């Protein structure tokens, strides 16, 4: 890279950095304003509040990264256009495509970093943030014990427990049902079930079998639930949100949910988003740089207004595609990629017209 390339990269990096820091600070102020009453009501400790925001910063950084990328690239390239630096470069015989090469290189690096950050940093940070939030609100014990557990297993099996003790690997007041095409064929009610020798054993209950001969009721002291494939981790885990899982974990979750007969349309869309969203940085930076490089002495206020308009259009397209994918109106992959496809086509069109 020559001196001109480094000059463009430094200006772009400075504008990107300022945009990212500004948006994160705005996010912190807005969230603190919304949650200050909650912190006071639940007597949150200062260290809890500090960790609450420390672990939330990675999520906000990724969420606002497309906006920061667009504003940063717009401001950087618009500043070149305002002071006729783009015109001077073109006068020296440097084409717009050549001017934008260092911008595209930076966009590629930023997209790669965003993908790894999204897959390795954000899930763990979000998980810790949600744990601290639950601790502040005192909603759940951190050892995995839960109340009102409802799980679906393979072969149309349903199991409900009034409570689950993760330390004793025991669920109390349990009801289990097996269905066939939505019709119950078996039902079991037990005082509790215990995880022993790699299977669940029900104690002190009744077993009902439904068939052509009517209902057959059997009392039992203990009953082995050999058909259940669920493990203690399934009972104790708080079903993670997609943003709390990396790509591999979400892929495994989807495969397991399919075996249990669950609807995973939403998770499929979110899985594709883990790849498409980081790539947005490249597309948005390319779009912002192309618009900024072709500006004619545009002020920063105009650039900011244009950036806000484009960001609104992008997030509207993203949410619309996500909703359509969740509701299976379109394919899950298309729901996650439709915004990127539209803005990529727009960017290529602008570059092609500028080159002509």
pLDDT single digits (tens) 240-263: 677 778 888 888 888 877 766 677
So where are the chain's domains? 3-139+265-355, 146-237
Q: Which two tokens stand for residue 73?
A: 């690239």
Q: Which residues have C-beta within 8 Å of that of residue 32, sequence separation ≥ 6?
A: 53
Q: What's the whole-model pTM score?
A: 0.66
pLDDT band (50, 70, 90) for residue 67: confident
pLDDT given at position 193: 93
Query: Of the candidates 201, 148, 150, 210, which has an alpha carbon nearest to the alpha carbon of residue 178?
Result: 210
**Cα-Cα end-to-end distance for the chain:** 26
Q: Does residue 19 carry a pLDDT above 70?
A: yes
Q: Give the pLDDT of residue 338.
A: 92
How confident is the prediction for the chain on average, in pLDDT? 83
So what's the pLDDT on residue 303?
64
Residues 165, 149: Cα–Cα separation, whole Å: 11
Instruction: Work out the average pLDDT over 283-301.
Output: 70
pLDDT at 54: 94
Grade residue 167 by pLDDT with cuts at 50, 70 and 90. confident
Compare 299 and 222 and report the one with higher pLDDT: 222
pLDDT surpasses 90 at 57: yes
For 291, the 3-state DSSP assignment is helix
Mean pLDDT value across residues 226-250: 78
What pLDDT, on a 0 to 100 scale, did the predictor assign at position 294?
A: 65
What is the pLDDT confidence band of residue 103, given thresholds at 50, 70 and 90? Answer: confident
- Across 273-294, average pLDDT: 82
Residue pLDDT, tens place only, 298-328: 555 666 677 778 878 888 888 899 899 988 8
Q: What is the pLDDT of residue 354?
A: 61
Q: What is the pLDDT of residue 194?
A: 93
- For residue 264, the tally of other CB atoms under 10 A from its CB is 18
- Are 157 and 234 in contact, with CB atoms under 8 Å apart? no
Percent of the chain with pLDDT over 90: 19
Separation between Cα atoms, residue 9 and residue 134, nearest integer Å? 43
Q: Is the pLDDT of residue 296 over 70?
A: no
């Amino acid at each position: 890279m020559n001196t001109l390339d480094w000059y463009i990269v430094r200006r772009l990096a400075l504008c990107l950095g300022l945009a990212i820091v500004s948006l994160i600070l705005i996010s912190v102020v807005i969230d603190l304003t919304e949650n200050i009453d909650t912190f006071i009501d639940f007597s949150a400790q200062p260290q809890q509040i500090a960790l609450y925001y420390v672990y939330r910063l990675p999520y906000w950084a990724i969420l606002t990264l497309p906006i920061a990328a667009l504003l940063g690239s717009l401001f950087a390239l618009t500043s070149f256009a305002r002071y006729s630096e783009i015109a001077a470069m073109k006068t020296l015989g440097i084409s717009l495509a050549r001017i934008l090469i260092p911008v595209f290189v930076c966009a590629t690096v930023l997209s790669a970093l965003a993908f790894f950050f999204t897959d390795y940093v954000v899930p763990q940070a979000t998980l810790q943030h949600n744990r601290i939030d639950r601790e502040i609100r005192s909603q759940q014990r951190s050892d995995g014990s839960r109340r009102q557990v409802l799980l679906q297993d393979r072969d149309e099996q349903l199991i409900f427990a009034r409570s689950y003790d993760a330390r004793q690997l025991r669920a109390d007041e349990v009801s289990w049902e097996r269905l066939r095409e939505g019709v119950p064929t078996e039902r079991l009610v037990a005082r509790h079930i215990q995880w022993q020798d790699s299977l669940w054993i029900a104690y002190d209950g009744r077993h009902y079998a439904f068939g052509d001969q009517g209902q057959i009721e059997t009392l039992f002291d203990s009953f082995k639930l050999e058909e259940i494939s669920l493990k203690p981790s399934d009972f104790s885990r708080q079903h993670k949100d997609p943003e709390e899982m990396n790509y591999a974990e979400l892929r495994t979750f989807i495969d397991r949910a399919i075996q249990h007969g669950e609807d995973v349309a939403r998770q499929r869309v979110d899985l594709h988003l883990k790849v498409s969203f980081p790539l947005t940085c490249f597309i948005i930076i390319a779009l912002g740089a192309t618009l900024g490089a072709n500006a004619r002495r545009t002020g920063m206020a105009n650039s900011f207004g244009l950036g806000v308009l484009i960001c609104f259009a992008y997030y509207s397209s993203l949410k619309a595609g996500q909703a359509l994918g969740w509701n299976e109106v379109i394919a899950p992959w298309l729901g996650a990629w439709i915004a990127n496809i539209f803005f990529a086509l727009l960017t290529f069109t602008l570059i092609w017209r500028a080159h002509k």
